[in-house]
Structure 1
Amino acid sequence: MKSQMLPTIFIMTLALSVCGVYSGKVLVFPIDGSHWINMNILIKELYSRGHTVTVFRSSGSWYIKESSPHYNSITVEDVAGGFDEDFLKMLISRIIQIQADGKSSWKRLQVEWELMKLGPVMTQMEINVLAKLLDDHKLMQSLRDAKYDLVLADPVGASGGIIAHYLNLPLVFNVRWTVHSEGHFAIAPSPMSYVPMPMFELADKMSFLERVSNVFFFAFYEFQAQFLIRPLWATFTNKYFGPDVDYFQLIQGADIWLMRVDFVFEFPRPTMPNVVYMGGFQCKPAKPLPQDLEDFVQSSGEHGVVIMSLGTLVSELPRRVVEEMAAAFAQLPQKVIMRYTGEKPSTLGNNTLLVEWLPQNDLLGHSKTRAFVAHGGTNGVQEAIYHGVPILGVPLMFDQPDNLSRMRAKGAAKVMDIFSVNRDTFLQALQEVLHEPFYRENMQRLSRLHRDQPMQPLDRALFWIEFVMRNKGAAHLRTESYKMPWYSYHSVDVILFLLAVLATFMASFVFGIKFLCTKVCCKHKSKLE
């Protein structure tokens, strides 16, 4: 009798557990390009847990597909052009062209100028698309009727925060950057004395001149935000929400910030209760390689292999640079797998396999991989940490120099200027990373630290997304300090008040002493007379 009841009890328990699973509806506002790769990982995991996901995409999207087994999509037509693949490739080509003659302060200023000009252009593109969206009253009503549980967005664009406000929904960010700067700077205290501004390759231990530079860089970004970006958004929010709604406060008011870093990668700094660290959430154990690639790797013998990848956006480099790098690779005893889609270099050695695509995570996790020549994208750096592979960094643009400078500060990477390399300097740097135990030991130490945590980063991220669904937000974790004016936030008004009180007290004291002295003097004089 008991043996017959066991299957029934098991089935009833399973049914109760399934019924107890909360199935939510998530509205996603992603950013195209490499950011979508990260967002799509969360989307697939949400789908696997029974949630319904709807993704907003532009008709010009090149990564975000209209059809997917994991999500439904809403496509918004581009208005007068958009942030598409051609636009981004044109920008990358321009930045590479500026830097091609070598590294200098003037070149850096030129790059910053190009990026500064780009900010208002991209902002206006986003505003155009968002305005078209809000003007589609039928679509917006259908979004209200769908009764979503939350908005999941990337705050590099402000659209997710604005739509969450419009629909009165909780907001969760998948974030490293916001419309202004690195995510922490939007919500967490950031003392300039030891919190380095991103993009400028500073560490948390700064000299006096570096601290001066840090404050200058902070002021530079604030200037851009206040005078180039904020006026565009102010015009938009005034039209649709009135003068009391500030676009950046909508971003700062997000319930949960899922940060794509952790403190193995990042420098220690103040944070907030609603910041959840999921650095390396995209990393996973290596799978077996395709047989032809496995055969090539195994042919390396005891020397092992070197992997080179410059990410998905850079299709080719200046011809001279590629020729010099290939010539250096040819002198190595290691086998080299080089992802490159440009013209085949004439100096390519027999030990080098040129491919248009490679399974980066699986190669980094292979026992024969000895070093990773990388441009410094966040995903590649996190995968190298996860698998404990030292890096020879050759940054190109955006946050890549800053990412690699963090690895250099932690002793896990050597960094060089890709546009000034020759075969000798590149070979010397490669051999240093390959043969100096310092780099591998430090990277493996970071790998152990990264893996030594009670909960996997992806599981932690999904827990907090579902937490917000269950509890209709996370207001108890969110500070309201972002609503304070700057002089109140920094207690300038309190300091001025206390100084005024102190000055009044001191003036009264001095006046009283003078008054008493005058009275005493007058009495003394009258007695003498």
Structure 2
Amino acid sequence: MRRIKGEKKRRVQQVRASTEICHGGKILIVPLEGSHWVNMDIMIKALHSRGHSVVVVRTNKSWYIQDNSPHYRTITVPVTEAFNHDFINSIIKKIIDIERGESSLWSFASLQAEMFTAMFNMHRIMCKFATNMFKDKYLMNSLNESKYDLVLTDPAWGTGIMLAHALKLPLVYNVRWITSGEGHMAIAPSPLSYIPLTGSGLSDKMTFIQRVKNLIFSVIWQAQDGFLIHPQYQAVCDQFFGPEVRYSDLLQGADLWLMRVDFVFEFPRPTMPNVIYIGGFQCEPAKPLPEHLEEFVQSSGEHGVIIMSLGTFVSELPADITNVIAAAFAKLPQKVIWRHKGDRPATLGNNTLIVDWMPQNDLLGHPKMKLFVAHGGTNGVQEAMYHGVPVVGLPVFFDQYDNLLRLKERGAATLLTINTVDKDNNFVEAIQEVLNEPSYRMNMQRLSRLHRDQPITPLDNALFWIEFVMRHKGAAHLRTESYKMPWYSYHSVDVVLSFLATVAVITFLPLVFVRYVCLEKCMKRKTNKK
């Protein structure tokens, strides 16, 4: 009897599985490289496990995206230049050199100029990628004939946005950044009085001077987008879709924004109905470590383990800084696992293990983990928060300082900068402060409890909404049409001016009438006297 029930159960499961596969959708994915691909790949595997067919658009010079995978097929577009390790490494070296110099208005201007140049070149490469794709008639016909259900893209570059328009497909974002900056800034009301701009290093509690600084950063971001980024994408739109198609409309018109933050991490702010928060979707309970790592971790005894990683983009720091860091680690009783690809530091201690790669999520979830020395990338920060591990932050560029600041404001991290890490024992003192002050761990574990206390996991939430868009051929009912309004209508400038004009007419018309009547009387009196 039990065997019959077991057979029935298995048949039901097989039917359900085959039904899911039969009803699986076709998803076209245009991802970003580096750490952005790492979390997109997790979403791809989850979509594949639910029976969806996934196709990834990549270049022939792709950095992270492999051509062969059991979870997706690839379409490879030939290019002569690509966003890869060599491209990003040269930028990071220049930024580190600038940041290590004397702090001044000139260094700030130099840093902004370097970032402007990097952004311009990155989007120039992406526009060339899009141009090559749209010029390939065979490829575009093939994509049209494939009848995809939607395009899923990371809008930190605009290729996927324009491709979705070309194919007339619903558009879903796996998003934190868009081509013009932080994603919320393009779609939701964003008062500068309490919403800090990326790069400003500000929290949501600002003094008058800080609000002035925030306004300056807003102008910088708008200038960067208006003069360096948006025109490049608009030129592609003009060439292939016509000048009546505005890139900014395509960007803001996505059906769904799967936002890679949540409000345990992000400062509270206005949002929109088609923004779905999936912060930490890449996080999961720790799996067993490889044998050699588990043995090293267990050898730490009661002191525990520290890990250090500067993420995908930053593979190595200048030699003098790495020697300072290695010497600081050597003074600690903890064991240290350090992801480092440069030359072996001369001051490396016996307690430090250097690796090319580490299972970061699994290490952070290990009971012996005490501290995470991190650069502040979104993935690493969220994994630390998920597992409740306090952080010593060493930001290098872009949003990393701002990410770490959000942890610092909640008492779960302390920060250093590149130009101070090698001065006056700052690095070792920062580590000892976080290790010896219990509030850091307590605060981070509180954030972990808040983050985990959800009715559905962030990944399952993301999958539901992707499938929702596929079932309903979009999500237009969640999307505001405000982006189609001219700025003067959006801010009701025309209404205010009309109201003021009406008030002026109502106020001054009687005065004009009275003045006219008085003048008439005066004229009559003069006439009578004559």
TM-score bucket (shorter structure) = over 0.9
1:38 offset after TM fit, Å?
Answer: 1.0
Q: Deviations over 1:458-490 (max 9, x none)?
A: 000000000111110000001110011111111
Alpha-carbon deviation of 1:137?
1.0
* TM-score for the superposition, normalised by structure 1: 0.94
What is the CA-CA distance between 1:211 and the residue it aligns to? 0.9
Q: Measure how far apart 1:84 and its partner are.
A: 2.3
Structural mapping, 1:87-486, within 5 Å: 87-101=87-101, 103-421=103-421, 422=423, 424-486=425-487
Aligned residues: 527
Shift of 1:346: 1.8
Query: Which deviates the most, 486-495 or 312-321?
Result: 312-321
| Amino acid paired to 1:472 | K
Structure 2 unaligned spans of 5+:
none
User: What is the alpha-carbon distance in structure 2 between the residues aligned to residue 15 and residue 424 of structure 1?
Assistant: 62
Cα separation, 2, equivalents of 1:122 and 1:288: 38
Please give the secondary structure, in 2, of the residue aligned with 1:454. Answer: coil
Contact 2:63 2:83 in 1 (8 A): no
Read off the aligned partner of 1:208 and give its amino acid letter.
F
Tell me the residue number matched to 2:70: 69
Match of 1:17 in 2: 16
In 1, are the aligned partners of 2:281 and 2:457 still within 8 Å (CA)? Answer: yes
8 A contact 1:374–1:394 mirrored in 2: yes
Q: Would the alpha carbon gap of residues 215 and 371 (structure 1) be closer, same or farther in structure 2, given more than 3 Å must change?
A: same
CA distance in 1, matches of 2:502, 2:95: 55
Q: Residue 408 of structure 1: CA displacement? A: 1.0
Distance 2:430 2:340 in 1: 20
Contact 2:96-2:418 at 8 Å conserved across structures: no
CA spacing shift, 1:125–1:369, aligned 2, 3 Å: same
TM-score by length of 2: 0.94
Asked if structure 2 preserves the Cα contact closer than 8 Å seen for 1:103 and 1:419, the reply is no
User: Structure 1: how far apart are the matches of 2:67 and 2:445?
Assistant: 40
User: CA shift at 1:141, angstroms?
Assistant: 0.9
Pairwise CA distance, 1:418: 2.8
2:49 counterpart of 1:48: yes
Judged with a 3 Å threshold, the aligned counterparts in structure 2 of structure 1 residues 375 and 8 are, in CA distance, closer, same or farther, namely closer
Q: What secondary structure sits across from 1:242 in the alignment?
A: coil
| Aligned counterparts of 2:102 and 2:296: Cα–Cα separation in 1 | 35
Instruction: Indicate the SS of the match to 2:113.
Output: helix
Whether the 8 Å contact between 2:390 and 2:434 is mirrored in structure 1 is yes
When residues 207 and 513 of structure 1 are mapped into structure 2, their CA distance, relative to the original with a 3 A threshold, is farther
Conserved 8 A contact 2:158-2:233? no
Asked if 1 retains the 8 angstrom alpha-carbon contact of 2:283 and 2:382, the reply is yes
Between 310-319 and 258-267, the greater mean CA deviation after superposition: 310-319
Aligned residues of 1:324 and 1:423 also touching (Cα < 8 A)? no
Hey, what's the Cα distance between the residues in 1 that align with 2:424 and 2:216? 37
- Distance apart, 1:120 and its partner CA: 2.5
CA distance in 2 between partners of 1:5 and 1:300 (Å)? 52
The SS at the match of 1:57 is strand
How far did residue 52 of structure 1 move? 0.4
Query: What is the CA deviation profile of residues 88-137 of structure 1, one whole-angstrom value per residue up to 9, with x for unaligned ones?
Result: 21212222222233555433321211111222222222222211111111
User: Which residue number corresponds to residue 40 of structure 2?
Assistant: 39
Deviation at 1:12, TM superposition (A): 6.2
Q: Which moved more, 1:382-391 or 1:158-167?
A: 158-167
| 2:127 partner amino acid | I
Supply the distance in 2 between the matched residues of 1:16 and 1:504 (Cα, whole angstroms). 74
Identify if the C-alpha distance between structure 1 residues 206 and 23 changes in structure 2 by more than 3 Å, giving closer, same or farther.
Answer: same
Q: Secondary structure at 2:140's aligned position in 1?
A: helix
Query: Matched residue of 1:420: which SS?
Result: coil
Deviation at 1:82, TM superposition (A): 2.2
Summarize deviations over 1:415-451 as a string: whole Å, max 9, x none. 0113322362211111110011121111111101000
Q: CA deviation at 1:316?
A: 1.8
2: distance between equivalents of 1:334 and 1:4? Answer: 54
Provide the C-alpha distance between the structure 1 equivalents of 2:4 and 2:309, rounded to a whole number of angstroms.
58
Deviation of the 1:161 alpha carbon: 1.2
Corresponding residue for residue 30 of structure 2: 29
Residues 232-275 of structure 1 deviation map (CA, whole Å, 9 limit, x = unaligned) = 22322112111110112111111000011111111000101000
Point out the more displaced range, 270-279 or 107-116: 107-116
CA contact (8 A) 2:198 2:398 kept: no
Counterparts of 2:522 and 2:411, CA distance in 1: 75
Q: Secondary structure at the match of 1:119?
A: helix
| Partner secondary structure for residue 425 of structure 2 | helix
- Any conservation in 2 of the 1:328–1:423 contact (CA below 8 Å)? no
Distance 2:346 2:5 in 1: 70
- State how far apart, in whole Å, the 1-side matches of 2:79 and 2:320 are: 38
**Residues 6-57 of structure 1: CA deviation (Å, up to 9, x unaligned):** 5676466445534553310000101111111111111111111110001000
- 1:367 Cα deviation after fit: 0.9
Aligned to 2:178, what secondary structure does the other structure show?
coil
Give SS of 2:307's match: strand
Q: Single out whichever of 509-518 and 163-172 deviates more from structure 2.
A: 509-518
Counterpart code for 2:446: R
Deviates more, 1:428-437 or 1:336-345: 336-345
Contact 2:150 2:171 in 1 (8 A): yes
Structure 2: distance between partners of 1:415 and 1:435: 16
Distance 2:502 2:305 in 1: 71
Residue-by-residue CA offset, 1:268-313 (whole Å, 9 max, x unaligned): 0010100000000000111111222222212222211111111122
In structure 1, list runs of 5 or more residues that go unmatched: none
Distance 1:370 1:188 in 2: 38
| Cα drift, residue 502 of structure 1 | 1.1
Q: How far apart in 2 are the matches of 1:13 and 1:69?
A: 26
Q: Which moved more, 1:291-300 or 1:15-24?
A: 15-24
Structure 1 residues 442 and 105 mapped into 2: Cα distance closer, same or farther (>3 Å)?
farther
C-alpha contact (below 8 Å) 1:327/1:423 kept by paired residues: no
Task: Identify the residue that residue 488 of structure 1 maps to in structure 2.
Answer: 489
Deviations 1:197-242 (A, max 9, x none): 1122111111111111111111111112122223222322112111
Post-superposition shift, 1:159?
1.1
The CA deviation string for residues 148-200 of structure 1, in whole angstroms up to 9 with x for no partner, is 00000010111111111111110000000011110111111111111111122
Distance 1:60 1:233 in 2: 21
Answer yes or no: is 1:503 the counterpart of 2:504: yes
Equivalent position amino acid for 2:303 in 1: H
Kindly tell me: are residues 19 and 336 of structure 1, through their superposed partners in 2, closer, same or farther at Cα, counting changes over 3 Å? closer
- Structure 1 residues 448 and 513, CA gap change in structure 2 (3 angstroms): farther
Deviation at 1:525, TM superposition (A): 12
